[in-house]
A and B are shown apart, each in its own frame.
Chain A
Amino acid sequence: MALLELDGVNTYYGRSHILFDVSLSVAKGEVVALLGRNGAGKSTTFRSVIGLTAPRSGEVRFKGEKVNGLRAFRICRRGIGFVPEDRRCFPDLTVRENLEVATRREKQAENPWTVDRVYALFPRLQERERNLGSQLSGGEQQMLTIARTLMTNPELLLLDEPSEGLAPLVVALLAEMILQIRKEGVTVLLAEQNLHFCAKVADRGYVIDKGSVKYEGTMKDLLADDEVKEKYLAV
């Protein structure tokens, strides 16, 4: 059974129709990429899943249960973690406080994430433990939001454009970390424009354009499909 399923999701901002019958599924243990250019509907898909912008029709199922219509904090508590594209560290909190805020006590995870465990994954954060969120570089902010979201013990992690605006070296480092997170048993759905980054970390990919899914397949097939690449991803 799929961990996450979107079934004919339509989402609007006010009067404007953004997602058109989006359907996709992510199985436990996978890393899946949602590829598309700016404004293709990737962030809206994520916001629809996490409940920040609820779909107007269609269904979002997590572990077989319908979650659309629930408020964001309830969906988070069910086990979906969301890392937004603009990162949004809490600027007035230290790195450590950013992590502590996200700690969930009510949920009994088998091997819960702790501050020490995420520091082991992101040693750089430990070095900057006492710095405020507003004092971090772009790469550090990205690590902090991922680490912060892990603290909620998600079974599924939604990563919105993690590589955006980062230097190539940092992007490579980030790819390593995503693979590491996967080894820890977390399923990852990744929104990206950067095809080669996805090629490194993802098993399967969906291509989304103008609010609807245009392609789905393994990353290998996608990489080989020049037509899809040209049409939906390149300029």
Chain B
Amino acid sequence: MDTTHPSSRHQGLEDLRYLAAKCVRCSLCKFPPLVKVESQATSSICPSIDTYGFHSHSGGGRVLMALSVLEGRSEITEATRDAIYQCTLCGGCDVSCKYVSDIEITEIMMALRARSFDATGPTDVQRRILDNLDRNGHPYESGTREDCLADIPGVRVGPGPTILLLGSAYAMSPERRTTLRNMVRLLGAAGIDVSVLGADEPDVGTLALALGDLKRFDRSASAAIGMLNDSGATEVVCADSEDWATIRAHWPKVAELGPPARHVVEVLDDAVRAGRLTLAHPVRVRAAWHDPCSLGRRSEPYQAWDGEVRKIQGQLLVYDPPRPVNRGSSGCYDPPRRLLRAVPGLELIELPRNRECSYCCGAGGGVAEAYPELATAAAMERQREAGTTGAELLVTTCPGCEQNLGGVEVAGVPTASIYDVLAASVWNQHDSFTNGS
């Protein structure tokens, strides 16, 4: 274990070195698994290298930067730091690498961020985000959870058997309130008695993790897990997909969450399949589903491994015991598709890059805040892709995706949250997405 964060199970760069050294610089991390590529236009899986071009801006490139830093060949300069952070941490490279090998690229990139953060401190933009977290309990300049709750009439505030974690992105964005309201209404209509924590809702640590501030993340995650474990809740439901990925893949490194957790789409999917929620009204639209990275490939559960690498048959590297590897396939892919297929009149279209091979919207990893040019370029690319399918609507469920893809609609297809679409079907309420909310 790296000595930087002895109290948690984060792997430091040194811990991951044996995996980083497996990089052969094959560049497969830049593409979806090649057997899945359908056209040149959709043959990239990496918004970062699409935008900045240099190999340093690929998954493999960052692995090599990590090795360079580890071996003392280079210091982390401003240019290095940009190359490290100009990445949405979408995990596409990780999936592609693990089709043929098993390098934990995302873990290495996060460890490199932690090394960078420890060595150089935050950038100005990052500093503002962290200050906001300190000051406001969320990463934004303004907004309060009270304001948010005022827009969600009827929601129970305080402890309850099912706690809905709203997260910050939905809660602090007035533009997303309709969606949030629809989400809560849908849960209610499904007979799920959710409560929210209001001003007490903890920061789950998503941005601190993305920025490499692991101490802060550990504090946040630890506090949040403790609060939820002590709350008496029997289930936690997560609204924000980015937080969902954090909870699933990274909280276990800090502490165990007692109550089981699910994402909202999983809860609603169960409800529809059980007949507790009826999607009655037709929504006649050709809709493409955008798999958020955080709901999909990045939400695979953390799997601890404490073993060693052995060589057998001379030079064959094996793990003792076998090392579990997340390859992106067991993310949450089917529930949202089942939900949309259940909407009468809705024709579901698959984007060429889908499920574990989805192309990132560009918002994650702290990029929307620090490198808007990357966020915009990625969203434009995804919109272009959607536009080629004949889709009339691009549906997703992640506040970052909704915001970022919606922000460049002019280039492609109107964007909607899945909750708005479902609400339209349940209550024949179309205005929530036809105006491109």
- A and B: interacting chains: no
Which residue numbers of B lie inside 8 Å of A, CB to CB?
none
